[in-house]
């Protein structure tokens, strides 16, 4: 390590290496220095792995956020790579929830801060991959409010890649296995939803003092994750809103597609539910299990709480058909696996997070009463009232006329403002009435089109993304499918842009809009945007729905792009849908010869048997 940093004391030892308290002699500040342990399994790769770690860890320095520990520097010396970070004097969330679960107010603050941190990281496509309570540090501001910071962001991914055998050794990943997403055991690529799952497990433990997925051995814990064996939160914890229980269970769904697409979506739903001033509170009582996956939808503008199915299935049938958890095949042949210790017992009653002893009382904590401050005395030194009324020394000329003009001008302004407000309210009332009329028309048999202005159509789009019932959503979809511009607006362009780019919708709403609205309005102008969406969207079901529309909307111009999807897409469902769309284009094209040349070109560029099979089928269809 270069002379710039002085090692002063060892703070702790973690899964990624040792942490030391250090001093930056150049910047005159205390820092935390983490010595990274790289597990390559091949000494010859050690130097290359270190070089790659330094390169990628340097990118973490760009992640500047108040809820994420700042990385100052990275480097390597004879003892290996190291990362220099800001030094935090506080406690981990793990230490705090050993004492007692969090109160609702403290949990709300924790959820807001952690989601803000994840949003910032996901904007830079950074994945933590090792979120757990010991990686959440809390410190207290002078006001007494706590501030959460996530540590070790991205370092777990950069430093090691665990095999299934490693994961079964509890000592190797102690504390992490309780919070790992199922896809981490399956050794598939991780994304933002994996971090959300881990954070949801942290939320569950912070409110209950229990791991959501538990077992006596590492193997049992993995099976609990893979089979989604979890007790619904509202059966354990009372005195918190029911929607919070549903929201957390939504985040820890077994399949990534059933979770929020991103931290931004999770925070959006949290904030909209939090607006309800009188939410239904959980009683912590068990209820009969209803076999349904938890879903979460954005509440309507009336701030009614979200009402997804409230039960989580503790049932292996949650696993996709034909799926065999890989962990069962790789289970170690040890006679007695090491037991997984239970988390420390906690006090039943939730306790507020208070500043350390010796600090001033928190002005945010409900445990400290804030005394009433009396209004200033009119005779105090700083607020003394004048002993005599103020009388101007000179009276302006024509003051009476000026006063009248001012009064008249003021009245005119008031009249103008009131008139504007009344006019605006009348317009809104008429727009609302028109909206309801068009909904009724959409539900009426025999209606073939509904004239709309661009503004009316946009209102329907917003309503579709935020419908508070399935029946209302279906009527809105019918109206959108029958909409016809009455003012020259390009309705098809508007709905295509909204369905493929809007961040307001949940994945299932987007898929339904594509299948039930765009499929009925399908025309060639939609094809380019639909194809681009299908190629790039992480939402497989919506992408497949968009690709299916291309069977009727796409033409020769999209054929070559469809061949690219058939050849190179990693998603089997999308490759099949692209082949179907390309086949449909061949059947209706008058330029089969030119399209056949494109197929031959693709065949000549690949030798993979599986990739050639759909291309050969397309070649046969072109002949």
Task: Please provide the DSSP assignment of 575-591 as one string.
Answer: HHHHHHHHHHHHHH-S-
How far is Cα 124 from Cα 569, in angstroms, rounded to an integer? 24
From first CA to last CA, the distance across the chain in angstroms is 68
Q: Do 50 and 124 sit in the same domain of this protein? A: no
Residue 405, SS3 per DSSP = helix
Check whether residue 149 and residue 271 sit in a common domain. Answer: yes
Structure tokens at 511: 């898929």
**In whole angstroms, what is the distance from residue 169 CA to residue 340 CA?**
10
DSSP state of 269: H
Relative to beta strand 483-485, strand 450-452 is parallel
> Helices (H) and strands (E) in the chain — how many of each?
23, 12
Task: Give the CATH number, domain containing residue 244.
Answer: 1.10.510.10
Asked whether residue 12 is domain-assigned, the answer is yes
Please name every residue paired with 452 in a beta bridge, in sequence order, or none if there are none.
485
Q: What is the pLDDT of residue 489?
A: 85
Q: Which of 231, 298, 289 is nearest to 467 (CA)?
A: 298
CATH code of 550's domain: 1.25.10
Q: Which residue has the tokens 């990118």?
A: 59
Tell me what pLDDT residue 535 has.
86
Using alpha carbons, select from 12, 17, 161 the residue that is nearest to residue 83: 17
| Residue 372: both structure tokens together | 């009433």
Distance of CA 504 to the CA centre of its chain: 12
Q: What is the tally of structural domains in the chain?
A: 3
Structural domain span for residue 31: 5-86
- 100 assigned to some structural domain: yes
Other residues' Cβ atoms within 10 Å of the Cβ of residue 192:
25
Least Cα distance to 180 among 208, 201, 166, 159 occurs for 201
Tell me: do 111 and 171 sit in the same domain: yes
Question: Is there a single domain that holds both residue 152 and residue 286?
Answer: yes
Closest Cα to residue 15, out of 175, 125, 183, 144?
175
Q: What is the pLDDT of residue 401?
A: 62
76/129 same-domain check:
no
Contacts of 204 (CB under 8 A, 6+ apart): 210, 211, 212, 233, 248, 252
Q: State residue 619's pLDDT score.
A: 87
**Residues 274 and 313 grouped into a single domain:** yes
In a domain, 410, yes or no: no
Where is the domain boundary, 86, 105, 140?
86
Asked if residues 51 and 38 have their Cβ atoms less than 8 Å apart, the reply is no
Same domain, 474 and 610: yes
Answer yes or no: is 607 within a domain.
yes
* R_g over Cα of the chain: 31
Shared domain for 592 and 525, answered yes or no, is yes
End of a domain among 86, 115, 145?
86
Contact 3, 18 (CB under 8 A): no
Considering the domain architecture, whether residues 226 and 313 belong to the same structural domain is answered as: yes
Q: Which of 86, 111, 139 is the last residue of a domain?
A: 86
Nearest alpha-carbon partner for 190 in 248, 130, 247 = 130
Q: Are 176 and 133 in contact (CB under 8 A)?
A: no
Q: How many residues does the chain have?
A: 623
| Claim to verify: residue 466 and residue 577 sit in the same structural domain | yes
320 in a domain, yes or no? Answer: yes
Distances (CA, A) of 447 to 33, 410, 450, 513: 70, 52, 8, 20
Q: Which residues of the chain have pLDDT under 70?
A: 1-2, 14-16, 37-59, 154-175, 285-348, 358-402, 418, 421-432, 468
Q: Does a structural domain hold residue 548?
A: yes
What per-residue confidence (pLDDT) applies to 53? 65
* Distance (Å, whole) CA 85 – CA 57: 11
In this structure, are 25 and 106 located in the same domain? no
Residue 406 maps to a domain: no
CATH number for the domain that contains residue 52 = 3.30.200.20
Asked whether residue 140 falls in the same domain as residue 277, the answer is yes
Q: Does some domain include residue 372?
A: no
Q: Which residues contact 180 (CB under 8 A, 6 or more apart)?
A: 167, 173, 198, 225
């Amino acid at each position: 390590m270069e002379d710039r940093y002085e090692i002063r004391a060892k703070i702790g030892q973690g899964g990624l290496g040792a942490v030391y308290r250090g001093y930056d002699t150049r910047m005159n500040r205390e820092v935390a220095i983490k010595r990274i342990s790289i597990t390559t399994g091949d000494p010859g790769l050690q130097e290359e792995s270190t070089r790659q770690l330094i390169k990628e860890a340097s990118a973490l320095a760009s992640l500047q956020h108040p809820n994420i520990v700042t990385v100052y520097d990275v480097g390597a010396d004879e003892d290996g790579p190291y990362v220099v970070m800001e030094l935090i004097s506080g406690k981990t969330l793990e230490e705090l929830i050993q004492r007692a679960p969090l109160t609702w107010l403290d949990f709300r603050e924790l959820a807001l801060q952690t989601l803000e941190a994840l949003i910032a990281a996901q904007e830079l496509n950074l994945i933590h991959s090792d979120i757990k309570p010991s990686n959440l540090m809390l410190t207290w501001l002078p006001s007494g409010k706590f501030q959460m910071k996530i540590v070790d962001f991205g370092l777990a991914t950069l430093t090691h890649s665990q095999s299934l055998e490693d994961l079964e050794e509890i000592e190797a990943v102690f504390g992490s296995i309780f919070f790992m997403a199922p896809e981490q055991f399956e050794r598939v690529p991780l994304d933002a939803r994996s971090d959300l799952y881990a954070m949801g497990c942290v939320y569950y433990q912070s409110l209950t003092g229990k791991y959501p997925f538990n077992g006596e051995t590492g193997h049992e814990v993995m099976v609990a994750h893979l089979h989604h064996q979890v007790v619904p939160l509202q059966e354990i914890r009372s005195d918190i809103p029911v929607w919070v229980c549903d929201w957390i269970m939504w985040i820890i769904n077994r399949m990534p597609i059933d979770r929020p697409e991103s931290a931004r979506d999770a925070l959006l739903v949290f904030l909209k539910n939090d607006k309800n001033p009188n939410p239904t509170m959980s009683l912590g009582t068990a209820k009969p299990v209803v076999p349904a996956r938890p879903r979460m939808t954005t509440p309507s503008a009336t701030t009614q709480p979200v009402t997804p199915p409230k039960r989580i299935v503790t049932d292996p049938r949650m696993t996709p058909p034909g799926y065999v958890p890989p962990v069962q095949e790789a289970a170690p042949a040890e006679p007695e696996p090491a037991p997984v210790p239970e988390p420390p017992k906690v006090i039943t009653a939730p306790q507020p997070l208070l500043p350390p002893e010796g600090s001033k009382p928190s002005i945010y904590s409900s445990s400290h009463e804030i005394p009433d401050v009396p209004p200033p005395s009119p005779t105090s030194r700083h607020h003394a009232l004048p002993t005599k009324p103020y009388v101007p020394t000179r009276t302006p000329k024509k003051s009476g006329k000026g006063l009248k003009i001012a009064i008249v001008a003021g009245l005119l302004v008031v009249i103008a403002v009131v008139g504007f407000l009344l006019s605006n309210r009348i317009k809104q009332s008429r727009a609302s009435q028109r909206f309801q009329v068009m909904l009724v028309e959409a539900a009426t048999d025999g209606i073939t089109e509904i004239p709309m202005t661009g503004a009316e159509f946009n209102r329907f789009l917003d309503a579709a993304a935020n419908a508070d019932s399935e029946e209302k959503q279906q009527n809105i979809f019918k109206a959108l499918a029958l909409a016809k511009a009455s003012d020259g607006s390009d309705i098809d362009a508007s709905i295509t842009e909204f369905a493929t780019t809007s961040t307001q919708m949940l994945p299932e709403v987007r898929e339904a809009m594509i299948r039930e609205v765009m499929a009925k309005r399908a025309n060639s102008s939609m094809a380019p945007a639909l194809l681009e969406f299908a190629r790039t969207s992480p939402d497989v079901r919506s992408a497949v729905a968009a690709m299916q529309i291309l069977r009727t909307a796409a033409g020769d111009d999209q054929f070559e792009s469809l061949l690219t999807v058939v050849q190179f897409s990693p998603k089997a469902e999308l490759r099949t849908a692209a082949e179907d769309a390309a086949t449909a284009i061949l059947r209706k094209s008058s330029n089969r010869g030119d399209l056949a040349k494109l197929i031959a070109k693709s065949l000549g560029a690949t030798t993979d048997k599986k990739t050639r099979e759909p291309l050969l089928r397309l070649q046969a269809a072109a002949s």
